[in-house]
Chains A and B, each alone.
Chain A
Amino acid sequence: MTEPIVKVKNLSMHFGQASGFFSGPQRLVKAVDNVNLEVFEGETLGLVGESGCGKSTLGRSILQLCKPTTGTVQYRGTDLVKLEGKALRKMRNRFQMIYQDPYASLNPRMKIADIIGEPMYIHQLHPRSEIRSEVEKILKMVGLARDFADRYPHEFSGGQRQRIGIARALAAQPDFIVADEPISALDVSIQAQIINLMRNLQQQLKLTYLFIAHDLAVVRHISDRMAVMYLGKVMELTDSNTIYEDPLHPYTQSLLAAIPIPDPEKEREREANRVLLDGEVPSPENPPEGCAFCTRCPRKREVFETKKIDCSTKAPTFAEAKPGHWTACHLYT
Chain B
Amino acid sequence: MGFILFLALFADLLSPFAYDRVYFDRVLLMPFEHPEHPLGTDEVGRDYLSRLIYGARTSMMVSLSVQMIALMIGLPIGALAGYFGGAFDFVISRIIDIMTAFPALLFTILIISVLGGGMPTIIVALSITSWIVIARITRAQILTLREQEYCTAARGIGASEWRILFRHLLPNAMSPILIAVSFGIPTVIFAEAGLSFLGLGVNDPIASWGKMVGASNAYVRVYWHLALLPTLAIALTMLGFSFLGDGLRDALDPKQKIRV
Contacts and interface: CB of A to CB of B under 8 A. Distances in A.
Query: Would A and B touch once assembled, by the CB under 8 A criterion?
Result: yes
Interface residues of B, number: 21
A92 to B, nearest CB: 3
B178 interface: no
Contact of A106 (B150, B155, B159, B171): B150
Interface residues of A, number: 30
A92 B171 CA distance: 24
Interface stretch (A27-35, A94-102, A228-236, A270-278): A94-102
Interface in A104-118: 104-110, 118
Interface string B219-260: 000000000000000000000000000000000001001110
Interface in B139-160: 148-150, 152-160
Scoring A99, A106, A109 by chain B CB atoms within 10 A of each residue's CB, the highest score goes to: A109
Contacts of A155: 259
Contact of B150 (A91, A93, A104, A123): A104
Contacts of A101: 149
Contacts, number: 68
Given A109-B172, A122-B163, A154-B254, A172 B152 contact: no
Contact of A107 (B150, B156, B158): B150
Interface string A81-93: 0000000011111
Contact of B159 (A91, A105, A122): A122
B254 A93 contact: no
A96 B157 contact: yes
B26 interface: no
Nearest to B174: A109
A202 B159 CA distance: 25
12 contacts: A91-B158, A96-B156, A97-B156, A99-B149, A104-B148, A109-B172, A110-B168, A119-B158, A122-B163, A154-B257, A171-B157, A172-B157
A168 interface: yes
A65 B155 contact: yes
Contact of A93 (B157, B172, B257): B157
B152 A89 contact: no
A183 interface: no
Given A118-B154, A154-B259, A107 B168 contact: yes
A135 to B, nearest CB: 14
Given A60-B152, A89-B160, A118-B167, 13 more contacts: A63-B156, A65-B155, A65-B156, A96-B157, A101-B149, A104-B148, A105-B149, A107-B150, A107-B171, A110-B168, A118-B154, A118-B157, A119-B157
